Amino acid sequence: MDTVKPPETCQFMSELRAQIDAIDVELIKLLVSRSRYIDRAIDLKKIEGLPARTTDRVAEVLDKVSATASEKGLDPGLARTLWTELIEWSIQRESEELNV
């Protein structure tokens, strides 16, 4: 994002909404990047004979996300919910590609 204004400096809802919209674009860019890693995970799981779902890894990611959210001032429950969706989408995609 080129110019990030702190929320408290926004004087009008239009300014605030523009900032939120810009952040949303950045979040989408990060999700695209993340999905490319999922694509690569599919390739590597095929080579290594790994399943789409690895329960220990799911728990590890959710624990890390919750802890990081807490440290950074985001509701860890929200982070866990969002990442659960991301993880389940990723596993579904991997399952389809791995034919399981």
Residue 36 counted as domain residue: yes
Counted domains in the chain: 1
Return the CATH number at 81. Answer: 1.20.59.10
- Region 70-93: mean pLDDT is 98
Here the tokens at position 36 are: 């490319």
Residue 92 counted as domain residue: yes
Q: Give pLDDT, residue 99.
A: 87
Residue 23 counted as domain residue: yes
Here the tokens at position 2 are: 């080129």
pLDDT at 1 over 70: no
pLDDT per position as a tens digit, 12-43: 999 999 999 999 999 999 999 999 999 999 99
Q: Which residue in 41, 57, 20 sits closest to 93, CA to CA? A: 41
Q: Model-level pTM greater than 0.95?
A: no
